[in-house]
Amino acid sequence: MSRTEVTQETLVSLAKRRGFVFQASELYGGIAGFWDYGPYGVELMNNLKASWWQFFVREQPDVVGVDGAIIQSPKLWKASGHIDGFNDPLVEDLVTRKRYRADHLAGADTNDIDKLSGLLKDKKSPDGNPLGPVRTFNMMFKTFVGALEDEDSVAYLRPETAGAIFANYKNVLDTARVKVPFGIGQIGKAFRKEISPRDFIFRVRELEQLEIEYFTQPEQAAETLERFKKLYDEWFAQLGLDQNKLSWRQLSEDERAHYSVENWDIEYKYFGEKPKELGGIANRTDYDLSHHAEASGRDLRYFDAEKGEHFLPYVIEPTLGAGRLLLAVMDSAFAEEEVNGETRIVLKFKPEIAPVKVAILPLSKKLELSSVSRKLYTDLVQRAGYNIEYDETQSIGKRYRRQDEIGTPYCVTVDFETLNDGCVTVRERDSMKQERVKMKELASKLIF
Amino acid sequence: MSRTEVTQETLVSLAKRRGFVFQASELYGGIAGFWDYGPYGVELMNNLKASWWQFFVREQPDVVGVDGAIIQSPKLWKASGHIDGFNDPLVEDLVTRKRYRADHLAGADTNDIDKLSGLLKDKKSPDGNPLGPVRTFNMMFKTFVGALEDEDSVAYLRPETAGAIFANYKNVLDTARVKVPFGIGQIGKAFRKEISPRDFIFRVRELEQLEIEYFTQPEQAAETLERFKKLYDEWFAQLGLDQNKLSWRQLSEDERAHYSVENWDIEYKYFGEKPKELGGIANRTDYDLSHHAEASGRDLRYFDAEKGEHFLPYVIEPTLGAGRLLLAVMDSAFAEEEVNGETRIVLKFKPEIAPVKVAILPLSKKLELSSVSRKLYTDLVQRAGYNIEYDETQSIGKRYRRQDEIGTPYCVTVDFETLNDGCVTVRERDSMKQERVKMKELASKLIF
């Protein structure tokens, strides 16, 4: 459903100009890798998150939700392997002191220090200077809990949301009406010290994840992975993601984590360029639960009453980056069209996820019109429970263009005729067709 | 509407036993001041947040939303005064090395070091040991962005959500259809190094705020503050908060920040004890914008086209703690009742915010019943878009008690008669009245 190929540059500019995404702390020169969502970005993001939660948590009878803290005990990250192993290979320009990801400079998809050192042996930095040795550095943000900044008070911002799910696996089993197989879903922020954040909101230091850990009998793990691939396909279609730009790619053994036995990336062709990771589904085996059982000294096995045996469930992990999803949704929705010799930009969002569902546009600021329009706004926003915009300035043509650019499916104009016939004009975004509708019937027409 | 006074101990135990709130990293002995929300806690919290967003952002035509990053440029926190002034007075037990809030030990509501030193002069620690001098310590969580942990890479976890709003004030003015007066709302996490986190989710280190910064003409600030007090009252009533436990308290000049000219706390009598702060509304004058204008070198004045003059808006800040709100909602909903000689605990949530709206309870696990029940579940959850629970184990009496304790307004039992007459039994939580309803009519009865 992609109507027009958009460049990253055009989309970044639209996102800023129309209040979707701003650089964090832009007022102070910014801070690399961090972004703020503006009025339309936060509505779009909230709609995407609510849709995910409804589809993957509420509508799946065997999935429940949790919301864990960003700061957890460091013991959790020791057990999960993040303190020792969540590293990136880093190399330094010996003249400028700029740091680079060694794997990026080497053009190789590996974290193996020896391999990277070999590949970079005679290479220069992008500025043409000699490079230092390849080193690893831990990607977790470190902080201190308590008054003193010493080793005893070190803690980390979670590098992924999954940790709090594994740590609560037993709690959820004990309190919710679930039994294995079942899943726990979570939406939340995670933090990674990307050494070179880039590509707008694609590679960032503060990210948001939409993630499920699904606990299952080992022999049903492969089937569960298939189930979630299908659910993803269905949900992406619902969101209006361009089906031609989505593709599944199975990761090779080299690309997978050592404990993972099957791993698929769902890739999206952003900006018509080569496909990049939007999310993935991994079969993590019993790696996580066995490590947490060992480190905590707690028995995390599940008792299968029918078979009369204890076992450690396998975990299937479907995960998505919220920012990457939002970017794919914007890329898919973007269209540039000729209308009466002029170009209009329009974001053809599905109404369900559009940041503004309806714009109420009185044709004049005169009190007679604005009082009718205000009432219409209040009635509709209270009954429909969605976001509506009220805008009474500028020419109607400019206001239509503006609503097209933020992807509002319906514009409702209130004119002086409205005072006589009780009708308003409803303009549909994509067809631009206008229709005269009785105000009384507006709700039944526009509430979805 | 509080039915029975509940103690903190009882509520904490219910919250854990029924999957509302777990101690973060409990599997690893916990981490003080951090909490995870379980399956019912996250649904309740999401409902509260969605209700706030709908009421305060979407339904107010002059309020829009943003969602800022947790990590911002340190320059922002320098300008806001947090790096220099966001301090707590601290005192150390010279024997045990335990640290205490000096104002708490002194039993005084002040941050003045001299005053506190005087008050604590001859005091001992709670363990009966001598105390060291009163010192200030900064409450912001420090971290490092980038590979090196040096002064150049220091950053902070935001101590309040407001910062990202002030930093985006111009961006929002330039991109959304707003003009002064208007407000920006935000929901998000903030982090504070509470030296003695306590009282369950009341005083925590990782908190969530529901906050608006409303920018207005200075002469309309007082009126705006009144407007938001009324809106709070209206919304709290909608949520079912016990009106007898809520009270407004105006802060004295001593209690206010020096730049604030009027400040009200909305207090809630948790657990029947003395009223404690649930949220507040402050008139922050032009303190924030003037400091950010000065520090950034940008002109943040607003041009009033009618008067033809530039001015710096005043800010009215209505703020709420999400965890404190959830706690007040649970406290208000709690009831213990005698039913046929037995005690039942019931959380009488308003249906709109209940974590589970409907429980589908087949009376037997036999395939005929479960297939009908599953279909009912799927139909209802997809059409209503809310959370439903499916539970087919244990006696029906136990299942009712369980749903009462998580506050589910409606239980629907499916029995063998259902296969003949197409009817199910709907039990209402508070009256416990049961009614036979046609399955076809269930949606129109239960969707709100």
Q: Kindly give the confidence (pLDDT) of every residue in chain A, 448 residues in length, as a single tens digit, with 9 standing for 90 and above.
A: 446 889 999 999 999 999 999 999 999 999 999 999 999 999 999 999 999 999 999 999 999 999 999 999 999 999 999 999 899 899 999 999 888 889 989 988 788 899 999 999 999 999 999 999 999 889 999 999 987 788 889 999 999 999 999 999 999 999 998 999 999 999 999 999 998 899 999 999 999 999 999 999 999 999 999 999 999 999 999 999 999 999 999 999 988 988 899 999 999 999 989 999 999 999 999 999 999 999 999 999 999 988 999 999 999 999 999 999 999 999 999 999 999 899 999 999 999 999 999 999 999 999 999 999 999 999 999 999 999 999 998 999 999 999 999 999 999 999 999 999 999 999 999 999 999 999 999 988 887 7
CA angle, corner A21, sides to A15 and A24, nearest 5?
A: 140
CB contact under 8 A, B149 and A143: no
Residues of chain A numbered 295-314 and touching chain B (CB < 8 Å)? 295-296, 298
Substitution target in A28, A37, A134, A204 with the highest count of B β-carbons within 10 Å is A28
A window 147-176, beta carbon within 8 A of B: 147, 149, 155, 157, 164, 167-168, 170-172, 175-176
Q: What is the pLDDT of residues B267-302, one digit of tens each?
A: 999 998 999 999 999 999 999 999 999 999 999 999
**Residues 2..61 of A with a Cβ closer than 8 Å to B: which?**
16-19, 22, 24-43, 45-46, 50, 53-54, 58-59, 61
Higher model confidence: residue B97 or residue B355? B355
For A144, the closest of B142, B172, B206 (CB atoms) is B142
Position A3 scores a pLDDT of 65
Task: Give the pLDDT of residue B21.
Answer: 98
Q: Contact B34/A381, CB-based, under 8 Å?
A: no
Lowest mean pLDDT among A274-288, B85-99, B348-362: B85-99
Dig out the tokens for B318 from the structure.
Answer: 């209505």
SS3 A271: helix
Q: Contact, A91 vs A129, CB < 8 A?
A: no
Chain A residues closer than 8 Å to B24 by CB: 68-69, 71-73, 164, 167
8 Å CB contact of A58 and B386: yes
Q: How far is B44 from chain A (nearest CA, A)?
A: 11
The answer to whether B328 and B278 are in contact (CB under 8 A) is yes
- % of chain B exceeding 90 in pLDDT: 87
- pLDDT of B116 strictly over 80: yes
Among the listed ranges A405-409, B122-126, B181-185, B224-228, which one has the minimum average pLDDT value? B122-126
Distance of alpha carbon B176 from alpha carbon A56, whole angstroms = 32
A356 neighbors A389 (Cβ within 8 angstroms): yes
CA quadruple A318, A319, A324, A330: dihedral sign = positive
Q: pLDDT tens digit string along B395-425?
A: 999 999 999 999 999 999 999 999 999 999 9
**Residues 83 through 142 of chain A touching chain B, CB cutoff 8 Å:** 90, 99, 137, 141-142
Q: What is the mean pLDDT of residues B336-351?
A: 94
Fold of the domain built from segment(s) B356-445:
Rossmann fold (3.40.50)
**Shortest Cα distance, chain B CAs vs residue A264, angstroms:** 28
CATH 3.30.930.10 fits A2-73+160-330, yes or no: yes
- Pick from A225, A334, A252, A311: nearest CA to A5: A334
Mean pLDDT of B152-181: 96
Looking at residue A147, what is its pLDDT? 76
A293's enclosing H/E stretch is helix A287-296
**Distance, in angstroms, between B249 CA and closest chain A CA?**
30
State how far the alpha carbon of A7 is from the alpha carbons of A34, A196, A199, A311, B391, in Å.
21, 21, 11, 50, 50
Q: What is the mean pLDDT of chain B?
A: 95
Please report the pLDDT score of residue A443 as a whole number. 85
Question: Residue B251: its pLDDT value, please?
Answer: 96
pLDDT in the model for residue A112: 87
* Residues of B (378-407) whose Cβ lies below 8 Å from A: 378, 381-382, 385-391, 393, 402
Vertex B268 angle, CA B266 and B270, to 5°: 160
Q: How far apart (Å, rounded) are the C-alpha atoms in residues A314 and A38?
A: 40
Distance set, CA A44 to CA A2, A387, B42 (Å): 18, 10, 21
How do residues B43-72 score in pLDDT, each as one tens digit?
999 999 999 999 999 999 999 999 999 999
How far, rounded to the nearest angstrom, does the alpha carbon of residue B18 sit from its chain's CA centroid? Answer: 19
Contact yes or no for B387 and A38 at CB 8 A: no
Domain boundaries, given as residue ranges, for chain A: 2-73+160-330, 356-445
pLDDT of residue A1: 40
A50: chain B residues, CB-CB within 8 Å: 50
Q: pLDDT grade, residue B257 (50/70/90)?
A: confident
| Inter-chain contacts counted by CB atoms under 8 A, chains A and B | 260
- CA B420 vs CA A91, A398, B391, B416, B423: distances in Å: 73, 61, 22, 7, 8
- pLDDT value for B2: 41
Residue B98's closest chain A neighbor by CA? A147
**What distance in Å separates the CA atoms of residue B263 and residue A417, rounded to the nearest whole number?**
47
A420 close to B (CB below 8 A): no
pLDDT at B219 over 50: yes
3-state secondary structure chain B: CCCCCCCHHHHHHHHHHCCCEEECCHHHCCCCCCEEECHHHHHHHHHHHHHHHHHHHHCCCCEEECECCCEECHHHHHHCCHHHHCEEEEEEECCCCCEEEHHHHHCCCCCCHHHHHHHCCCCECCCCCEECCCEEEECCCEEECCCCCCHHHEEEECCCCHHHHHHCHHHHHHHCCCCCCEEEEEEEEEECCCCCCECCCCECCEEEEEEEEEEECHHHHHHHHHHHHHHHHHHHHHHCCCHHHEEEEECCCCCCCCCCCEEEEEEECHHHCCCEEEEEEEECCCHHHHHHHHHHCCCCCEEECCCCEEECCEEEEEEEEHHHHHHHHHHHHEEEEEECCEEEEEECCCHHHCCCCEEEEECCCCHHHHHHHHHHHHHHHHHHCCCEEECCCCCHHHHHHHHHHHCCCEEEEECHHHHHHCEEEEEECCCCCEEEEEHHHHHHHHCC
Cross-chain CB nearest to B144 (options A42, A142, A147) = A142
Pair of tokens at residue B405: 């304790």
Per-residue pLDDT band at B1 (split at 50, 70, 90): very low
B290 touches chain A (CB under 8 A): no
E strands within A284-350?
A: 302-304, 309-311, 314-321, 334-339, 342-347
